[in-house]
Amino acid sequence: MTGRQDQLREEQEAVDVRYARLDALRDQAAARLARTRRVGPSGSPQNRSERDAFATLYEDRLAQLDAVEQRLCFGRLDLTDGTGRYIGRIGLTDAEHSSLLTDWRAPAAQAFYRATAARPDGVVRRRHLVTRGRTVTGLEDEVLDLDALAEAEDGALASLSGEGALLAALAAGRTGRMGDIVATIQAEQDAVIRSDLAGALVVQGGPGTGKTAVALHRAAYLLYAHRRTLERSGVLLLGPSRVFLRYIDQVLPSLGETGVVTSTIADLVPGVEVRALEPDAVAEIKGRLGMGRVVERAVRQRQRVPAGPTTVRVEGRQVTVRPRDVREAIAKARRSNKPHNLARVVFVREMLGRLAAQYVEQLGSPVPPEDRAEILEELRTTREVRIALNLAWMPLTPQGLISDLLAKPARLEAAAPELSRAERELLRRPADHGWTVADVPLLDEAAELLGEDDQAERARAAADARRRQEELDYARQVLQSSGAGRGLVSAEVLADRFAHSGPSLTTAERAASDRSWTYGHVVVDEAQELSPMAWRMVLRRCPTRSLTIVGDVAQTAAAAGARSWAQALDPVMRGSWRLTELTVNYRTPAAVAEAAQEVARAAGLPVTSLTSARSVPGALEVERVTAAGLEAAVVASAQRALAAVGTTNDPEAGRVAVVAPPTLVDGLREALAASPAAHDLLPPGQGSPLDARLAVLTPREAKGLEFDVVLLAEPALVLESSPGDLYVAMTRPTQALRVLTSRGLPAGF
């Protein structure tokens, strides 16, 4: 038997021990779940909710243990002191509490990602274990001594760790869903993942540098390292589209984390459904920081002093709503510094007081307090009084305020004198127009300035706080006496479960349905697309300013998006952010990445430096076609590409995308649907492009995604509408880019 086989056998035994422990823990959780369920439906409501809470806890634990089945254990460190440890997806100890597996996020695992020959960090050897199912199929060793360093110092990428495992991961066919990278995180990525929780961290990186992967692993790391802080406040992850959120939705669960709230900017205000589109020029105006002031003025203008007095008869007497009284009541309400709908309570109380005084004066004699209350009630419910007070200070909804502002030119002119007439004309639209993405930050701004009349809500909150304290005390007692959930759950989370009995109200769910929820940490992906107003909306949800902001200012598509991080962030964060860069491209073959960079530079985009992790022979090809022959050429090229990435029946066959300017997409989709070879591989009807082997997309739809082969139609046309879009489109493939053009190639190609 060779030494290699001995090593494989040794590692197989080690891996078997860890899987056996995983199985034992699963059995344990399943048995506890069964026992909890067997207790039956009897008992007090308190007992029932306690039982449900524990049942959910064990269900979650089982789901977590199931999620780590694949590549449970992927690494081993041998240390200078003669000890060693295995690194895996979660931490495991044996029945005697000795460590079997170190969680990749634990400090003791850091050297697995960071140690180099130059800075070995106490590591003699780093070993990557390649597994298929539960079988160890390969090993890759790196001996961290200076001799190894000398050998490796011959290229820019000498510092790639676990190169074999990494390159195998990069070359694998794509499944339509992003996978995790725990086994092969690189040192510069690890530094980002483990960076401090506090403050705003900006991660700039060219296409394919792993920004999304890093952002997701950072969310998982922060939840592990700061669980107490983040478990109850929650973590929010913002992505560019719902398709993108589906693309990444398996990564966090595979890392054992299910509690992160994911959303797009468009979905961030509960109750607002974005259905409409609008021209970039309109979105750009709405995204300007000054729109905050515009909304503020729009609200103030709904607090109005009438031109003249209104006299109303109440129970045979006359009272007059006088402009001077209204002015003073408005001033008093504004001094309360409350949002519009809450300050309205102050305004109304003040006005009713003044009207009651007029009424009493006419009675000619002082009235006892109970009669005064009656007079106030009489005034409050008199229709004309209500109308006069509403005209002065109308209760408003965000939707009502914004749709009115955009539909009535006079209102917009008064609220937005800084906009030119042409700009205001661009914003104008009918009151029943659907909401657009750029409306959402305006609605959020309005919701903040308007507030809700929440007196009842606050009384309930105070009662809830008292109840919560009792629940917390009780949960602590249960934890102490039963020991059942020890290590699995904190008293806080258990108390939440008791209170809401069941999985339907986790922190994530409560946060997602509450516009004013503030998160412990917010991760923003494709952050270059956010307008200044969108940043205001995001920052409102994160008062601690603990943020991870990832993106690439060269890929900006939105007219209101960022061309530099300073331009985007300084106005809203006053310089309090730190910048770090990712520089290695893991996705795109070198020739494709270089061509994309040249084109982007020629178009004047702020491209950051990029080194590619791998080359693929024949990765870039250009086919010149006639305009009339474009569709037929795309169909033929798609057939070749599909054949190259695997046969129809192969479950691991790769994926092909046709990326084209919006004006060509429908025609190309129809042409492909008419081709027998491609027809069945397209997503059916409205199906998601992620679930099919062949997709036809615009560059914006392809943003953040990747495919084995990309056919790019008419790049010159894409460039005309947006250079950022072309840069995105060219950098989606993992294996090959096929360009089809009837109009020549963009400069730099």
Ligand X SMILES: Nc1ncnc2c1ncn2[C@@H]1O[C@H](COP(=O)(O)OP(=O)(O)OP(=O)(O)O)[C@@H](O)[C@H]1O
- What is the DSSP track for 59-93? HHHHHHHHHT-TTSEEEEEEETTS-EEEEESS-EE
- Which window, 200-208, 470-478, 482-490, 710-718, contacts ligand X (CB under 6 A)? 200-208
CB of residue 180 to ligand X, shortest distance in Å: 8
Whether residue 256 contacts residue 220, with contact meaning beta carbons closer than 8 Å, is answered with yes
CA-to-CA distance for 441 and 333, rounded, in angstroms? Answer: 26
Complex with ligand X: residue 208 or 520, whichever CB lies closer: 208
Query: What is the b/e burial string over 347-381, where b = at least 16 CB atoms within 10 angstroms of the residue's CB?
Result: bbebbbebbbebbbeeeeeeeeeeebeebbebbbe
Complex with ligand X: residue 214 or 450, whichever CB lies closer: 214
Is 209 marked as binding a ligand?
yes
- Report CA-CA distances (Å) from 653 to 19, 173, 645: 29, 7, 6
Is 748 marked as binding a ligand?
no
Residues 684-723 that bind ligand X (CB under 6 A): 704, 706
Complex with ligand X: residue 170 or 200, whichever CB lies closer: 170
β-pair partners for 582: 205
Residues 150-169 that bind ligand X (CB under 6 A): 166, 169
Complex with ligand X: residue 340 or 587, whichever CB lies closer: 587
Is 211 marked as binding a ligand?
yes
User: For the window 211-230, what string marks contact with ligand X as x by the rule CB under 6 A?
Assistant: xxx-----------------
Complex with ligand X: residue 278 or 706, whichever CB lies closer: 706
How does DSSP classify residue 521? E
Q: Can residue 207 be called a binding residue for ligand X (CB under 6 A)?
A: yes
- What is the DSSP track for 129-164? EEEETTEEEEEEEEE-SHHHHHHHTTSTTTT-SSHH
Alpha helices in 92-238, H assignment, sequence order: 110-114, 146-152, 163-171, 187-193, 211-225, 227-233
CA-to-CA distance for 735 and 669, rounded, in angstroms? Answer: 22
Query: What is the b/e burial string over 107-128, where b = at least 16 CB atoms within 10 angstroms of the residue's CB?
Result: eebbbbbbbbbeebeebbbbbb
Count the site residues for ligand X by CB under 6 A.
22
Q: How many residues does the chain have?
A: 749
Which position has the token pair 């209350």? 373
Q: Which of 36, 49, 131, 189 forms a contact with ligand X (CB under 6 A)?
A: 189
CB of residue 208 to ligand X, shortest distance in Å: 4
- Which window, 206-214, 510-518, 659-667, 740-748, contacts ligand X (CB under 6 A)? 206-214
Through-space distance between the first and last CA atoms of the chain, rounded to whole angstroms = 54
Q: Which of 75, 176, 205, 441 forms a contact with ligand X (CB under 6 A)?
A: 205
Complex with ligand X: residue 76 or 587, whichever CB lies closer: 587
CB of residue 416 to ligand X, shortest distance in Å: 35
Is 212 marked as binding a ligand?
yes
Of 735, 584, 594, nearest in space to 172 by CA: 735
Is 207 marked as binding a ligand?
yes
CB of residue 243 to ligand X, shortest distance in Å: 13
Complex with ligand X: residue 36 or 186, whichever CB lies closer: 186
Complex with ligand X: residue 243 or 478, whichever CB lies closer: 243
Q: Can residue 103 be called a binding residue for ligand X (CB under 6 A)?
A: no
> Beta strand pairing status for 123-132 and 135-143?
antiparallel
CB of residue 342 to ligand X, shortest distance in Å: 42
Complex with ligand X: residue 184 or 698, whichever CB lies closer: 184
Alpha helices in 301-382, H assignment, sequence order: 323-335, 340-363, 369-381
* Phi, psi for residue 485 in degrees, rounded to 5: -105, 15
- Which window, 71-79, 182-190, 257-265, 568-576, contacts ligand X (CB under 6 A)? 182-190
CB of residue 166 to ligand X, shortest distance in Å: 5
Residues 547-606 that bind ligand X (CB under 6 A): 552, 586-587
Q: Can residue 186 be called a binding residue for ligand X (CB under 6 A)?
A: yes
**What residue number has its CB nearest to ligand X?**
210
CA-to-CA distance for 376 and 77, rounded, in angstroms? Answer: 78
Is 206 marked as binding a ligand?
yes
CA-to-CA distance for 505 and 644, rounded, in angstroms? Answer: 47
Residue numbers in the known binding site are: 205-212
Question: Binding residues for ligand X, per CB under 6 A?
Answer: 166, 169-170, 181, 184-186, 189, 205, 207-213, 552, 586-587, 704, 706, 731
Residue numbers in the known binding site for ATP are: 205-212
